[in-house]
Amino acid sequence: MASADEIVCNGHVITLPTLEVVKAVPIMAAGTNIDWLLHLYYARRDFIRCRLIIERELHRSLNPEYMYFVKGLIDREEGNNIEALRNLQKALDLNSKNIETYKEIGKTLFIMGRFNQALDIFREAEELAPRQDHEICHFIGELLHRSAAAANQLTIARQEEAEAKMYFEKAVQAGKKLESFQRLAEILRKEKDYARAIEVLENCLLLSPENIEVLTEIGVLYLKINDSQKAFARLSEVIALDRKCPKGLLAYGAILQSRNDVDGALEKYQEIALTEPDIPELWNNIGLCFFKKKQQKVIAAISSLRKSIWLSPLNYNALYNLSLVYITAQQYASAFHTLAAAINLRKDSAECYMLLGICLRKLEDTENAFKAFQRSSEIQQQQSADAGRNPLVHLNFALFCYETGRIALATEQFTRFVSSSQDLLLPTEYKFQATKLKSLLKIPTSNILTSTPTGAASDAIDATDSQHIGTGNNSSGGDGMSNNSVDDIYGIYGVKRQAAGNKQELRNTKARALATAALAAAPTTSSAEMPLEVNAVVNA
């Protein structure tokens, strides 16, 4: 304060203002400040104007952070990822704390397939984020999930998978975004925690009701836990919302089909066939519908199943079903080829080998038939621990053994059949054949089959015995089928479901588990219940 004069006034020292004019303090002009307009044009995808603004303003703007940001995004939209990264990096240099820029860099790296780098970027962003950001959590989860799938070591993969799950849970809490819910449900589904997966999706539904994808998914999950009533309710909602949702319609049709409402199911399938005719599972189901009709339409069934196989030649379910229909139609040579194809696809199916055995028996190739039956019995025994039991395999083998004079083996197989059919509700068809065989083999009465009138059976043995061998090919499988009342089908329902569950497991390993699940749920259900008819055929 050298220039100012100081005087004493009223006992205080005060400075007198100088005569010099107060120096005007220059104010920095704001510049054009056009970021908001840039944002608006970007949101409208008016990239030409965006570029125009950026080009002109980039070098004179006081804070070009957002311009670099938008430039990067536009570059990315136009497919120039490298340039996008460069521009986003420039934006980041100007403001190293903007998590949005981090996110966009991460997303760009994600698009480019540089997943490890993307993960690092998202992790950095997570540390910087002032609060839990759902998008960051979602992407970290996604990336971990991906790297878990690619990891070589099981422990690392497990660890990453668990972490991915944790991040998805965080994302769900932070952002309530649909995608995160769906991914979380997907992981839970893979872990077979269906109840929680449903819970997650139901929560998701609270946020965005009437979402067809989510509804369908819930429906399919309910099917998995055998709650077909709830599944049915959900899927009806889907269909009410969108009459043309093929996935929903297909699952809905499958439920109807499993409830023996063949015409209702066919009606639904018709609608799908109108919009999307090239779904192999659809034709598989249609084929089974025809097969199941009161007046069996074998030819229609065959042509539908063949269409399904034509659409997807490696579809195991369709091949299995087609061979079954062929056997019913007594086209054993064709059935043999279809079965051979099916077995080439999956070598671990006891039912498939059993059918092959039946088929070869009919073709009078006893040697190979025996081998096939033996294999089916072996597989059945190996799997019986974890998978569903199918006593039919043993029953058929026992019948064949008896026929070819291998009495000892027949007795052994029969006891296996008895032990494996314990605590299962068997259809009368099974019981009938079993009782007949038992009396032929002269096995003392066991407590399992007490429900059948054993006394009457022992009288009828000889009569039925001659019929059993004599009638040969004439009594058609169709007869046996029409005899099956609704009760019978529900009777072995438990068995069917177990088998279906097992098949589902294998399917889950597929990458597109999500898409196929709805479709797959249907064919497996229907295919698994087919051995019922087989029994009729083999005993005919």
Partner 1 sequence: MSVNAKWLQVIVDEDEPRPRLNTVTSCMTLCDIKCDNYVRLIAADIALEDEPTATLKIFRGTTLHTELKLNGIPAAVQSFYSDESEPKTPIIAVAIAESVLFFRNLKPYFKYTVPGLGAEELERDLWLKLPTVRVEQQPALVESLRSIERPKMSRKSQKLIQLSQEEQNEFILKYADATVMRHPNIVALGCLERISSDVNPPSHLVIATDNGDILVLEPQSFGLIYQAKTCDYETVPSMIAVHGTYETDFRIVIATRYGGVYLLRKSVKEGQEIFKISHPFTGLMLLPVDQTITVCAMDCRLVCYSKKGKQLYVNKLPALPMCMIPITLPHLGLTLCCVALEGGLVQLYLQRYLVNEFHMVSTIGAMCFGRTGHEDYVLNMVSVEGEIFVKILKRTAAFDPSELLALKGNVESKAMVETILEKSKKSSIFVEQAAREKQNAKTTYGAFQAELWRLRYVAARATVDAINSSESTISGDITHAPVKLSAEVCGIGPEFRLYLTIQNMSSYKMASNLTVLLHADRRHYTLNKSMAKLPSILPGVPLKIDFEIVAVLDPNLKLPPHTLTIENSQIRVMLLKARQTKPLIAAVIAMPQSEANV
Q: Which residues 439-498 are close enough to bind partner 1 by CB under 8 A?
A: none
Answer for which of 162, 233, 273, 424 binds partner 1 (CB under 8 A) is 273
CB of 385 to partner 1, least distance (A): 36
By C-beta, is 26 or 470 nearer to partner 1?
Answer: 26
Which tokens in the block code for residue 375? 């294999």
Question: Crossing angle for the helix pair 316-328 and 513-528, nearest 10 degrees?
Answer: 20
CA 149/CA 497 separation, integer angstroms? 29
CB of 270 to partner 1, least distance (A): 5
- Contact range with partner 1 by CB under 8 A, out of 38-46, 194-202, 347-355, 393-401: 38-46
To the nearest 10°, report the CA torsion of 267, 269, 271, 272: 170
CA 85/CA 68 separation, integer angstroms? 10
Q: Is 510 in the site for partner 1 (CB under 8 A)?
A: no
CB of 477 to partner 1, least distance (A): 12
By C-beta, is 101 or 435 nearer to partner 1?
Answer: 101
Q: Is 1 in the site for partner 1 (CB under 8 A)?
A: no
Answer for which of 303, 404, 467, 475 binds partner 1 (CB under 8 A) is 303
By C-beta, is 317 or 334 nearer to partner 1?
Answer: 334
Residue 347 is given by DSSP the state T
CB of 203 to partner 1, least distance (A): 11
By C-beta, is 265 or 440 nearer to partner 1?
Answer: 265
Q: Is 291 in the site for partner 1 (CB under 8 A)?
A: no
By C-beta, is 222 or 283 nearer to partner 1?
Answer: 283
For 413-432, b where at least 16 C-beta lie within 10 A, e where not — what string?
A: bbebbbebbeebebbebbbb
Q: Amino acid identity of 251?
A: A
CA 490/CA 434 separation, integer angstroms? 20
Q: Is 44 in the site for partner 1 (CB under 8 A)?
A: yes
Q: Is 111 in the site for partner 1 (CB under 8 A)?
A: no
Are the CB atoms for 201 and 168 separated by under 8 Å?
no
CB atoms within 10 A of CB 280: 21
Task: Map residues 113-142 to x or -, x wherever contact with partner 1 holds by CB under 8 A.
Answer: -----------------xx--xx-------
By C-beta, is 333 or 407 nearer to partner 1?
Answer: 333
Residue whose pair of structure tokens reads 């099981």 in the numeric block = 154
Instruction: Give the binding-site size for partner 1 (rule: CB under 8 A).
Output: 74
CB of 155 to partner 1, least distance (A): 34
Residues 66-105 close enough to bind partner 1 by CB under 8 A: 66, 94-98, 100
The answer for residues whose C-beta is within 8 angstroms of residue 256's C-beta and 6 or more apart is: 262, 264, 265, 268
Residue from 153, 191, 235, 297 nearest 522 by CA: 235
CB of 95 to partner 1, least distance (A): 4
Answer for which of 35, 186, 281, 533 binds partner 1 (CB under 8 A) is 35
Question: Crossing angle for the helix pair 212-224 and 178-190, nearest 10 degrees?
Answer: 20
- Contact range with partner 1 by CB under 8 A, out of 45-53, 223-231, 391-399, 496-504: 45-53
Are the CB atoms for 337 and 356 separated by under 8 Å?
no
Tell me the DSSP string of 173-203. Answer: HHH--HHHHHHHHHHHHHTT-HHHHHHHHHH
CB of 274 to partner 1, least distance (A): 5
3-state secondary structure of 79: coil
Length of the chain: 540
CA 322/CA 299 separation, integer angstroms? 11
By C-beta, is 62 or 82 nearer to partner 1?
Answer: 62
CB of 94 to partner 1, least distance (A): 4
CA 180/CA 145 separation, integer angstroms? 12
The answer for residues whose C-beta is within 8 angstroms of residue 22's C-beta and 6 or more apart is: none
By C-beta, is 203 or 428 nearer to partner 1?
Answer: 203
CB of 86 to partner 1, least distance (A): 18
Answer for which of 168, 181, 291, 336 binds partner 1 (CB under 8 A) is 336
Q: Is 332 in the site for partner 1 (CB under 8 A)?
A: yes
Answer for which of 83, 365, 412, 465 binds partner 1 (CB under 8 A) is 365
Residues 235-264 close enough to bind partner 1 by CB under 8 A: 243
Residues 156-185 close enough to bind partner 1 by CB under 8 A: 175-177
Q: Is 538 in the site for partner 1 (CB under 8 A)?
A: no
Which tokens in the block code for residue 345? 């696809």
Residue whose pair of structure tokens reads 């309530």 in the numeric block = 176
To the nearest 10°, report the CA torsion of 237, 243, 244, 245: 0
Q: Is 63 in the site for partner 1 (CB under 8 A)?
A: yes
Q: Is 18 in the site for partner 1 (CB under 8 A)?
A: no
CA 38 from centre of chain: 43
